[in-house]
Structure 1
Amino acid sequence: MNTSTPVPQNPNSAATTLDALSRAATAITRELSLPRTLQTITDIARELVQARYAALGVPDEDGGLKAFITSGMGPDEIRHSGGEPHGQGLLGALLETDATIRLDDLTQDGRSVGFPPEHPMMRRFLGVPIISHGERLGNLYLTDPLDNEPFSEDDERLIVLLANHAAVAIANARLSEQLQQIAQSRERDRIGMELHDGVIQSVYAIGMKLEILRGQFPMSAEQANQYQSVIGDLNQIIEDIRQYIRNLRSAREEQATFKQRLDN
C-alpha cells in the first residue's frame, strides 16, 4: 500500500511543527476506514520528520507482522525489494519492546538482518510503537531523513506524539468497522427472517391451494402435467429462497471469522 503524499521542504520552525502535528491529529481522527487510517498515519509520519521512507507494521499473534503499510515506496519498488517483511531484524526487535529505537546507522546494529538485493539502502532508523491501553496496535518505522542527518530527539518526540494520536484513531476506526459489521449482520438477519416468515410461507400457501384445486376438478393428462409443472416451479422458488437465506448466514459467519483474524 502506498501513496505519493508530498513532503514539505521547510518544517524547521516550532510553529510549523505544531501546525503539522495539529493537522495530522485532525486528519487521522477524521478517517473511520481502518485501511485508510493506517495509510494516513504512515504518510503523515513521513511528512512530520521529513523521512524518505515510512512504514506502519501491524503485529500478528505469532510475533510477526500481518500487515505492512508503506509511504515513499511505489508498488514496483516494493515488489522488486522482496515484498512485504515479516517482522525480522529491527522490525521484530521493536515488536518485543515498548521503547522507541533510534539509530544513526542501522547497518551497524547487531539486530539488523540486512536487506534483500534490490531493496533501497537505508541507514538512519526511527521505530516507535503504537500502544493503546497496553495493547500494541502497530509500530511506526521511519528511515533516512531527506537531509541525510540522523533522526533527532525532537523527531523522536514528534513521532511519539503522533503514535499517541494514532492509537486513538486506530481504536476509533476498529470500533467503527465493528459497528458497521453488527449493523450489516442485523440487516441480513432481518432480510432472512422476512424471506422465511413472509415470502416462503406465501409461496407455500399458493402451492397448497393449487394442490387442493387439482383434486377438485377433473383434468386431462396435459392439464395435470401443467399443474404439476407449476407446483414444481413454486417448490423450486422456495428452495432458491432458502438457499439465499443460507448464503446470508454464511456471509455473516465468514465476515465474523475474518474480523476475528484481523483482531487476533
Structure 2
Amino acid sequence: MNSDQQQSSGYTGITFDHSSVDLVLSKIPKLARDLTGADYAAVTISQPHAGMRIFHDGLDKNIKWQDKELPQGRGVLGRLGPVDSPIRLDDISSHPDSYGFPDWHPPMKALVGIQIFAGQGYKANLYVSNAPNNGEFTTRDTEILNQLTQFVKFAMEFAELHDRERKTRMIVEATENRLQAVIDGSLAGVLIISASDKLLIGFSKQACTILGCNLEVGTTLTEIHNSVDFFDINGQVISEQDLPIEKALTDGIETVASEMMLHRPDGSKLPVLVSAATIRIHDTEIDSTVLILQDLSDILQNEQMKSDFLSMVTHDLRSPLALIKGIINEMDVDVNTSDEIHADLESVDEEVDHMTELVSNLLDMSRIETRTKKVDSEI
C-alpha cells in the first residue's frame, strides 16, 4: 500500500448526525475544485436504508438534479474503498468498469476519487473530474485531495464532539429544570451547597420564606450563617461547626429530622425540622450537600390546640367524677343500705375509679406531647 493509500484508509470513529455531517461535507466540493481546478466535484454519502446523498459543485445550475436518478456507485466508483483509494484515471471512459452514470450526468474524462471515511454502514467518497484544459490530474492533485480528506475527518470529529456537547448540555439543562420544578413544588425549604467553595448552587422559593432573607445562586454559606441563628430545643445556640449543613460538608455526617428554633433577620423565631444529606461523586467524594428546612409552626400550633382541648376535656370530666365518687361514698356508709344496693354502689365506684384513671392518662399524654411531663421508663 502506498502513502496515499495509507492516508485514506477507512475511518470508523464517527457517530453520524446529519446536522454535523452535512454542514462539513457541503463545503468540500467547492474547496476541492478551487484546489485542483476541476470542472466538477462531488461528495457522495451512502447510508443504511437511505440510499445515496450527493453534495456537489460545478454542475449546471439549470439541471434539476434533485429530481433525477442519482449515480448508484457501481463500476469504477463502486470499487473505491480502503484498498482502491485513491483512484486516479486519465480517462474514466476507457476503463472497462466504467458504467453506472445516468444520462443527465455531465461527461467526465480525468477523475480522482478518494474515500473520506467508511464505518457503521456509512461510506463517503470525494470525486473531482475534468482537469483544467481537458488535461490530466497530477500526483500533486491527488496529494492535495488526500490532505483535504484528512482535514475533513478532523472537522467531522470536531463537529461530532460539538453535537455531543450540545446534546449533553440540553440533557443537563432539562434535568436541572425538572429538579428545580420538583424543589419549587416542595413545601419544605431546600438549599444546595457546593462542597468545593461552599456557595449556594440551588434553592427553593420556600427556603427564602423560611429563612426570612433573600437568596441567590452564588451566595456564600458564611453570608447565610450571618443572617440567621439556630438554637436547639433547650434554647442553646448551635455553633456554625455543629450545624447539620457544616457537619455534612466537612465530615459527611448526615442529619435526619432534627428539631431546632430558627432566629430570623427580622427578630422573629420559627420552629423548624432540619435535615442535611450529602451528594457524592462515585459514592466517595462529596460534591455538594442538601439542607432541608421544614416549618413546624403550623404543626406545633395544631398540637397545642389538641393539648388544650385534652386539658379542657379532662378537667371537665374530673369534676363530675369526683362529685359522683363523693355521693357514692356517702350512700355506702348508710346503715339502711341493703346488700344489693351496697354491691351496686361498689360496682359504680370501681367504674368511677377506672374513668378517673383514663382521664389522668389523657392528661399525662397531653403533657408528654407538650414536653411538660417526662416519661418514666419501666423495665
Query: Where on the TM-score scale, by shorter chain, does this alignment land: which range?
Result: 0.5 to 0.7
SS at match of 1:55: strand
The alignment status of 1:150 with 2:139, answered yes or no, reads no
CA distance in 2, matches of 1:138, 1:45: 15
Q: Deviations over 1:151-190 (max 9, x none)?
A: 1111111111212222211211122112112212222333
Which entry has the higher C-alpha Rg, 1 or 2?
A: 2
Which residue of 1 is the match for residue 258 of structure 2?
none
Secondary structure (helix, strand or coil) at the match of 2:56 reads: strand
**Contact 1:56/1:138 (8 A) holds in 2:** yes
Aligned residues: 169
**Residue of structure 1 in register with 2:86 after alignment:** 100
Distance 1:195 1:79, change over 3 A: farther
Q: Counterparts of 1:69 and 1:188 in 2: how far apart (Å)? A: 35
Matches within 5 A, 1:42-81: 42-60=29-47, 66-73=52-59, 76-77=62-63, 79=65
1:89 deviates by 2.5
Q: Residue 115 of structure 2 aligns to which amino acid in structure 1?
A: P
Secondary structure of the 1:56 match is strand
- Check 1:112–1:34 CA distance in 2 against 1; reply closer, same or farther (3 A cut): same
The one of 110, 125, 130 aligned to 1:124: 110
- Contact kept, 8 Å, 1:59 with 1:65, in 2: the verdict is yes
Residues 99, 52 of structure 1: alpha-carbon distance in 2 compared, 3 angstrom cutoff: same
**Within 1, Cα distance between the matches of 2:100 and 2:71?**
12
Written as runs of structure 1 = structure 2, the 5 A alignment for 1:1-264 is 33-60=20-47, 66-73=52-59, 76-77=62-63, 79=65, 82-95=68-81, 97=83, 99-131=85-117, 138-195=124-181, 198=184
Aligned identity (percent) is 26
CA distance, structure 1, for counterparts of residue 123 and residue 168 of structure 2: 22
Q: Structure 1 stretch 90-99 or stretch 190-199: which is displaced more?
A: 190-199
State the AA in 2 paired with 1:170. M
Higher helix share: 1
Q: 1:157 to 1:188 in 2, by over 3 A?
A: same
Cα distance in 2 for residues equivalent to 1:85 and 1:41: 19
What is the RMSD of the two structures over their aligned residues, measured on CA atoms? 3.3
Q: Which amino acid aligns with 1:41?
A: I
Deviations 1:124-175 (A, max 9, x none): 1100122499x98632111112311011111111111212222211211122
Residue 217 of structure 1: aligned partner: none
In structure 1, distance between residues paired with 2:136 and 2:114: 15
What letter is aligned with 1:166? V
2:75 and 2:63 map into 1 onto residues whose CA distance is 20
Q: CA deviation at 1:68?
A: 2.1
Report SS of the residue matched to 1:126: strand
SS state of the match for residue 133, structure 2? coil
Higher relative contact order (CA 8 A, sep 6+): 1
Give the structure with the larger strand fraction: 2
CA positional deviation for 1:101: 0.4
After superposition, the C-alpha distances for 1:70-107 in whole angstroms (9 at most, x for unaligned) are: 11125652527724434323332113635210111112
